[in-house]
Amino acid sequence: MIFNVSSASGWIEVVCGSMFSGKTQELIRRLKLANIAKQKVQVFNSHLDVRYAKEHLVSHDKSTLAAHPVKSAKEILKAVDKDTQVVGIDEAHFFGPEIVDVAQKLANSGRRVIVAGLDQDYRGEPFDNMAKLMAVGEFVTKNLAICMVCGNPAHFSQRLTDSGKRIVVGAGDKYEARCRKCFQPEK
């Protein structure tokens, strides 16, 4: 998706999907295009996301972009500069419900907000804040991965380790993408 860079109206773009569906890769792609368009871009991620490098967004295919790790969504509001036109937020499901309000405020102030995150947890339950962002956002892109069991389109994140915690940070060692047929939420 490429937008007219001179627009002063803000909006929210949501990039969602399962693990390994290329969400971060898509976020980085859009932000790099905004950089090329000489727009002022700021990028945030959660301090919980320490999979690769704290101060960078890194996709599974290893493309990178410098990012500012924050502990809460409210910190994003404080950290956004007055002249910033584009705000990228990765792993938005890591943030609490206030991420929705933060994204709305940023968009209402004329900024383009691009939010990426998981739409469902490892049990296949929607993350409420992502569902709300999808409802209030102007543009929603749902990426599918490929089922690592059968090769069908996949939109579930199968957890491979035992943990009752909703958020367990990890990549290929802890999760794999699964289709509806192969997903086993109780595992």
With binding defined as CB under 5 A, does residue 177 bind Zn ion?
no
Choose one: 6-14, 81-89, 122-130, 177-185; the region binding Zn ion (CB under 5 A): 177-185
Q: What are the DSSP E strand ranges found in the chain?
A: 11-17, 41-46, 56-58, 64-66, 68-70, 86-89, 112-118, 139-143, 145-146, 153-154, 156-159, 175-178
Residue type, 12: I
Active site residue 55: no
Which of 91, 125, 138, 176 is labelled catalytic?
Answer: 91
Task: Select 48 or 160, whichever has its Cβ closest to Zn ion.
Answer: 160
Residue 53 · residue 76 · CB < 8 Å: no
Which alpha helices (DSSP H) does the chain contain, by range? 23-36, 73-79, 98-108, 128-136
Query: Please, what is the minimum distance in Å from the beta carbon of residue 86 to Zn ion?
Result: 36
Query: Please, what is the minimum distance in Å from the beta carbon of residue 50 to Zn ion?
Result: 30
∠ Cα 40 90 157 (to 5°): 155
Site string for Zn ion, 132-151 (x = CB under 5 A): ---------------x-xx-
Query: Please, what is the minimum distance in Å from the beta carbon of residue 101 to Zn ion?
Result: 37
Query: Please, what is the minimum distance in Å from the beta carbon of residue 147 to Zn ion?
Result: 3
What residue ranges bind Zn ion (CB under 5 A)?
147, 149-150, 152, 179, 182
